[in-house]
Amino acid sequence: MTRHGLTLIEVLAAAALLAITVGALVPLLRDAQNVGRVDTSALDLFELSRAADVLIRGIEPEAVESLSGTARSMPWPGDPVRGPILVTATVHTEEDGRYAWVVFEHQNLAVARWVRLPEARR
C-alpha cells in the first residue's frame, strides 16, 4: 500500500517554520519602510539644494540686499507645479567685505547659502 499526502506532524512542522519565517521578516519590513521615509526627505532636501544653487545664480548680487528682512516667493526652476520657494537674506558686514546668508525654504525644509556682495559704490 502506498501512502498519499502528509501526516499531521509534517503539516504542523511546515506551519511552524512558516510562522517563524514570517515573524522574522515583519520587523525587517517595518525598518525598510522607515528607511524609505528618510530617503524621501533626504531627496527633497537635495532637490531644494539644487534649486537654491540655480536660483542663487539668477539673483544679481546687488538684488540680494533687497531680500534682507523680507521673504520673496520664487518658483521652482523648471518645475512650476511645485509650491513656491521662499527666499530671505541677512546681510553682514565684515572686515574683508560684505556677505549675506540667503535662505531658501520650501515646506519644512531650508537651505542656506553664504554669498559675497559687491562693495558699495561711493
Task: Kindly write down the DSSP assignment for every residue of 46-75, as one continuous string.
Answer: HHHHHHHHHHHHHS-HHHHGGGBTS-EEEP
Q: How many CB atoms lie within 10 A of CB 21?
A: 9
The gap from C-alpha 56 to its chain's centroid, in whole angstroms, comes to 19
Q: What is the pLDDT of residues 12-33, one digit of tens each?
A: 999 999 999 999 999 888 888 7
Flag whether pLDDT at 4 surpasses 60. Answer: yes
Closest CA to 47 of 82, 89, 87: 82
Q: How many CB atoms lie within 10 A of CB 91?
A: 16
Burial class (CB in 10 A: 0-12, 13-18, 19+), 119: exposed
pLDDT of residue 122: 45
**b/e for 65-75, b at 16 or more Cβ within 10 A?**
eebeeeeeebe
Flag whether pLDDT at 45 surpasses 50. Answer: yes
Flag whether pLDDT at 118 surpasses 70. Answer: yes
Q: What is the pLDDT of residues 56-97, one digit of tens each?
A: 888 877 777 777 778 888 888 888 788 888 888 888 888 888
pLDDT of residue 95: 80
Residue recorded with cell 499526502? 5
3-state helix, strand, coil in the chain (%, to 5): 50, 25, 25
Flag whether pLDDT at 120 surpasses 70. Answer: no
- Per-residue pLDDT band at 36 (split at 50, 70, 90): low
pLDDT of residue 11: 92
